[in-house]
Amino acid sequence: MKLSLQTGRCEGYGLCEEAAPHVFRLPESDSEDVEILFTDVPPEFEREASAGARVCPVAAILISR
Amino acid sequence: MSRPHLVVVGASIAGVTAAESARVAGFDGRITLVSAEDHPPYTRPALSKALLRGHQSAETVRLPPIDTQVEVLPGRATALDAELRRVGLSNGEWVEYTELVIATGGRARTLRDFPRTGQSSCAERTLRSLDDALALRAAMGSATSVLIVGGGFVGTEVASACIEAGLRTEVLTLHPRLVPQLGDELSGLVTRRAIAAGVRLTRVDGQLEVPPGQGHVQVVRSSAGEKEADIVLTAVGDDPSLEWLASTTLQVDSGIVVDEHCVAAPHIFAVGDVARVKTSHGVAARTPFWTAALEQAHVAGEAVVRGRAAARYQPRPYFWTESFGLTINIAGPIPASGRFEAVEGDLTAGAGVFRWERSHGSTVAAVNHRLPIRKLRGLTSSLTTP
């Protein structure tokens, strides 16, 4: 599973980080976009990653396999 | 004994999350998601914001694909037989369940819903679904004027998109200000920005009528006289979709009353815009907001597997709105009240972090200031600890 952020779409709500703290991290500076911690999501974090992607209110996080 | 079968009615964020949460909690039976939508699940908050402004499309508002172990069944629920544990669908079929999650959401109120005060025809539009939003956006493309009935979150966001699209925009409202739910300070700020952007705000007394439109022109009659526009949009709130439950014994009172595990009756859960959570403080009003839907769906999904051992739902209000160049994120109860102060920034400049302080549980708003939910919620309690 791979995750990507649609350019310019992240608005910094931080819901992804709350739902999936092992996969998403918001930088200390609030003006920066969320950081995706894996290029390839390890299988044990896949459910967490998709939960984190789903809660994004602007659907900024894309999942591909 | 037959294999467990979880049926979730409603495929918006609440339904999808309930299905996935049950899986995460270890539910290993079948899961069926009944969807009345012609579209794959999408994010509803974006409809009145980025989608209407042309910054997002029907494709980009889609939620990530649903887990492949969930069957999606197109159809609308028309009946519930709790005795035989089955849901009737619009195509005449019955789907049997062992556990049921009701996540049918709501529908936009129209002036037809106020029989004492209004009469209307099909001329009025509403905004609730993706199809509503696409149709409204298309109509805005060939219109020069819009009349919006209602100055709450949806009405105000639509007004902002219409101004941006160059339409002559008038909002008819019962209140002196837009988005009164935000509290006097922020609602005043949004109203000033709206008026500066060219919105005409007209106070009416609630006696409204939308007679049949003539040609392309729509008409609204109110205490402010008869007004015309190319588009009339009614944004006067939503009602829960409950008609299909009319013959059940569920406790239905402007919403399905559920306990803190989102249980409405044995083997029946309700989450999202249809649900009213009953606690020791009484039965709360419905909370038709994104994070409330998510958190209730998590609770129900887990309770499907763990019953009373699952975590209880604890309301943590959070929502956001965007209009007239102001992005406002709020954590804590609304309408906000208490002693108002700027934590950072300046309200008249329209940017900063602001707090209404009360003896317990403040409300905090970030205005044009990106602050993730974790930090915003952190600020709701930080001053109350010595």
For chain A, the structural domain boundaries read 2-64
Q: Shortest CB distance from B294 goes to which of A55, A58, A59?
A: A55
Q: Which two tokens stand for residue A5?
A: 């952020």
**In the prediction, which pLDDT does B210 show?**
78
When pLDDT is averaged across residues B5-33 and rounded to a whole number, the result is 96
Highest mean pLDDT among B143-152, B203-212, B355-364: B143-152
Closest-CA distance, A12 to chain B, in angstroms, reads: 6
Please, are residues A58 and B50 in contact by the beta-carbon 8 Å criterion? yes
Highest mean pLDDT among B6-10, B122-126, B222-226, B248-252: B6-10
pLDDT digits (tens, 9 = 90+) for A5-38: 988 899 999 999 999 999 999 988 888 899 999 9
Domain A2-64 -> CATH class: alpha beta
> Cis ω on the peptide bond leading into residue B335 (within 30° of 0)?
yes
Domain B111-234 has CATH 3.40.50.300: no
Please, are residues A14 and A35 in contact by the beta-carbon 8 Å criterion? no
Please, are residues B76 and B89 in contact by the beta-carbon 8 Å criterion? yes
Closest-CA distance, B210 to chain A, in angstroms, reads: 33
**In the prediction, which pLDDT does B386 show?**
39
**In the prediction, which pLDDT does B68 show?**
74
Please, are residues B223 and B202 in contact by the beta-carbon 8 Å criterion? no
Q: What is the DSSP string of B145-169?
A: EEEEE--SHHHHHHHHHHHHTT-EE
Cβ neighbours of A11 in B, within 8 Å = 327, 370
**In the prediction, which pLDDT does B120 show?**
56
**In the prediction, which pLDDT does B335 show?**
83
For chain B, the structural domain boundaries read 5-51+63-107+238-309, 111-234, 325-379
* Maximum Cα interatomic distance, chain A, rounded to a whole number of Å: 31
Q: Do B46 and A50 touch (CB under 8 A)?
A: no
Q: What is the DSSP string of B198-221?
A: T-EEEE--S--BBPPPBTTBEEEE
Domain B5-51+63-107+238-309 has CATH 3.50.50.60: yes
Please, are residues B87 and B9 in contact by the beta-carbon 8 Å criterion? yes
When pLDDT is averaged across residues A49-64 and rounded to a whole number, the result is 95
Please, are residues B291 and B319 in contact by the beta-carbon 8 Å criterion? yes
Q: Do A59 and B374 touch (CB under 8 A)?
A: no
ipTM for the predicted complex comes to: 0.93
Say yes or no to pLDDT of B155 above 70. Answer: yes
Instruction: Give the residue from A32, A47, A50, A63 with the most B CB atoms within 10 Å of its CB, the best one to mutate.
Output: A50
Q: Shortest CB distance from B372 goes to which of A17, A57, A63?
A: A17
Collapsing DSSP to helix, strand or coil, B79 comes out as: strand
